[in-house]
Every structure is written in C-alpha cells, then in structure tokens.
Structure 1
C-alpha cells in the first residue's frame, strides 16, 4: 500500500497549546500520532534562588581567603533567617586566573577571582525580599532568582495530563473521521513536563515586606505535553 502523510496544525482549546497531528498509512502498522499540552495553574509555595560571593586578589590564596571570610558571613545570615539545612546546598566553588590582554602582547596575569555560590529553597515566600536584602548587606554580590515552584506538584501535573489526553483523544477521533480511518488502539504514550511563571503586580507582597525588596510570587503554570500514537485501520 502506498504511504501518505497528512501533517495538520490546529488551534487548540484553552486547556492546550496548538497541537500537531500526523497520519501515516503504511504496512504493517498504520498509525495516527498526535500531541497536545495540558496546563494547570497553581499558587507557588516554594522559592528557589542562589546567592554567593565573588572576590578578586593578586594571589590565589588571597582571593580564596577573602571569599571564605565573606561567604561564612553569608551562610551564617542564611541560617539566622531560619532556612533549614536541607534547603541549603553549595552549588559551586571556583578559582580562576585573571589576565590583561594588550594588542600584540602576551597575556599578563593580574590576579585571581574566587567564587562560592549556594542554592536555597525558601518555604516562607513573604521572607524572600527580606532575605535578598540581608544577603547583600553581609557581603553577597551575586544573586539569582527567585524561581517560584509548587512543592507537591503531583495533583497539578495529573490535572494537566488529563487535559492533554482528553484533547489528544478528541482530536484523534476528529482526524480519523476526516481521513477515513478508524482508531484501533493506543500504541504509545510519551510526555514532557514544564514550569512557567506568571507574574503578578509587585504590590502582592509589599504590605508584608514594607521596605524590603518587593517580590511577587504570582502563579505558576505546570504543563504536560502528551504525545500519543494510535493504530488505525484504513
């Protein structure tokens, strides 16, 4: 039997992003493959961020010593803020030589740069802005985040899965009818998960943090893209 392919793009409903369909009729197993994305909105209850210290000095020992002194103060401040030990983790320590480059001249060593970074998980979102300010006040000069997440996301992901599967099944029936084939059985199911932040106005937490750096957790979108292949009968 000759093989033909029918790629299709369509506008998805609110619960899914644009999906793609492909019908392949060829011996021995004719298939219909579809993908769709389901989404679930949640209010985050966990913030992930990183902070650290970068120092430079003429010698490697000097850079590391200064960095250790400042980083000790940063970690102490983190612990005083009530962050649990399980939520503090060293992300990386590095020491790199620094060079000056002049035209038509060999590189000249000018000193060394040391860095030390820790990653944090904060379970009290109202403390995020205050902690950022505290870290800077004790010597941190490298900050990243926060990234807001849902600590226990199983139920939200299952909700997104159900939406994606429902969309795929509905589209499978539609395209099977449009191409004159019948759905026989599911051959495979694969998925890919994702997180997406949805910011809200900064006023969301300003009342609690007063003069602290304003941070708004907003909402996060948990998504699951499901791809299903069906065996079809011509």
Structure 2
C-alpha cells in the first residue's frame, strides 16, 4: 500500500511540474498571432473657399527733419491726421494699433570723407482692422490723402472662421474615408473600423503660408485710385486616420 501511495504522489508531482511548461509553450506568441491585424495609417485634407469679411492694413508715416525733436513733431502731426481720417471713415479706436515707432539718424556718405549727419527720420506704423470691406478702398485713399506715405500690404480674413473650418473638416473626413476604401479594395480587404482620428492642421490659406491669411494686391488704376480686390480665402484642414482592415 505504501508503495502505491508513493507512486501516485510522484505521478501527481510530475504532472504538476509539467503543466507550467506546457502552458508556457502554448501561450508563447507566434509570428502569425503577432500580425493578425492589418491597419492603414492615412492622411487627407479638406478645403473650402469663402469670401473674406474683414481686412487688415499696415500703413504709416515716415518723416525727416534736421533734429530728432522736429522729426518726431512732424511725424506726430501727420499721424494724428491719418488716425483722424480712419476714425472719420468708420474705423473704431480699438481697431487701430501702433505696430512700430522708430527714430534713426540719417547720414550722407561722400567718398574719402567722414559720414555727415543729415538729420533724423521717424517712422510710425499702425495696423488697422477694417470690418466693413465696402469701406476698405475709401479708407486707404483717405489715409494717403491725410499724409500716410507707407502702405505695406493688405491681408484678408474671417471674423469667425468656425463655419468654414467645419465645412473643411467634413471634406477632409470624406477624403480620408474614400482613400481608406480605395486602399482596402486594392489589397483585397475591407475597412472594419476607424481606430484613431487626429487633426493635423487648422485655418490656413491655400497655397500654404504661411497664418496665416491670403493676401491681395493693391493696383493703381487709370483714375489714380487704389482699388482692392478681396477675392476668396481657402480654409484648409488636415486630418490623419488609423483604420483597421479585415478580410
């Protein structure tokens, strides 16, 4: 009887010891199990075009005088006239912001002679936001007539780009899904689900910038005016998606 008990105990011990090894061998991942999921990592973009509803102008006054004080006084007088013209044209004070004020000496250079101080130059730049594009051309003309002798560009934008961005997002997702379906079909798969979606870009002009906004040109016409064409803005959104495929 003792011999039988000992033999049974030994067999149970051996079976117990062998079980972890057998389990470990079964649980070990194989090359097939590691690559059972096929995925697609894709990117796409959506774009919509809309008319701008605001403009930003950078303009200013540059003045020269024999002394720094005289140059600053002359510049201030002209700039006050420019700002008054903007206000008269319907531009609010909150939409007029000083963006640069510089005072620098001016020299005359003659060969073989030391530089000679000619005087001083003052440059005062303001950034103006025009929320009524119908007044844009008149505002530019008025500031030039009031004494502005620098107009450094006009940029156009949207007061609220949300609707245009959302339209671009919808187009981006449609393009992304179409691309996923195409790749799946070409490789003999079908799209099971969208695993991850991320937005890689926001409100940008097309072609890319750049902010950030599309720029227009100011062209002189035969009558001497400065007509400004607003055109359209391209609002673009980029998306990235990870799709899981199946047979």
TM-score, normalisation: structure 1: 0.71
Q: CA RMSD in A?
A: 3.3
Relative to total residues, which structure has the larger helix share, 1 or 2? 2
Verify: 1:53 aligned to 2:100, yes or no.
no
State the alpha-carbon separation in 2 of the partners of residues 60 and 140 from structure 1: 20
Cα distance change of structure 1 residues 30 and 54 upon mapping to structure 2, 3 Å threshold: farther
SS at match of 1:217: coil
Verify: 1:153 aligned to 2:166, yes or no.
no
State the alpha-carbon separation in 1 of the partners of residues 132 and 199 from structure 2: 37
- 2:29 aligns to what? none
- 2:6 aligns to what? none
- Give deviations 1:104-134, integer Å, cap 9, x for gaps: 7665443322111111111221211111111
- 2:205 aligns to what? 195
- Give deviations 1:141-164, integer Å, cap 9, x for gaps: 011332222212101111001101
State the alpha-carbon separation in 2 of the partners of residues 127 and 221 from structure 1: 23
- 1:214 aligns to what? 227
- Check whether the contact 1:198–1:219 (CA below 8 A) recurs between aligned residues: no
State the alpha-carbon separation in 2 of the partners of residues 31 and 112 from structure 1: 67
Aligned length: 200
State the alpha-carbon separation in 1 of the partners of residues 138 and 199 from structure 2: 45
Verify: 1:113 aligned to 2:117, yes or no.
no
Unaligned runs of 5+ in 2: 1-33, 207-213
- Give deviations 1:178-217, integer Å, cap 9, x for gaps: 3567765116442243125497xx9xxx9xxx98532222
- Check whether the contact 2:96–2:129 (CA below 8 A) recurs between aligned residues: yes
- How far the C-alpha of 1:47 sits from its partner, in A, is 1.5
- 1:124 aligns to what? 132
Residue 39 (structure 1) aligned to one of 42, 47, 58:
47
- 2:25 aligns to what? none
Residue 101 (structure 2) aligned to one of 71, 89, 93:
93
SS at match of 2:43: strand
Verify: 1:64 aligned to 2:72, yes or no.
yes
Cα distance change of structure 1 residues 43 and 233 upon mapping to structure 2, 3 Å threshold: closer
State the alpha-carbon separation in 1 of the partners of residues 147 and 107 from structure 2: 25
- 1:230 aligns to what? 242
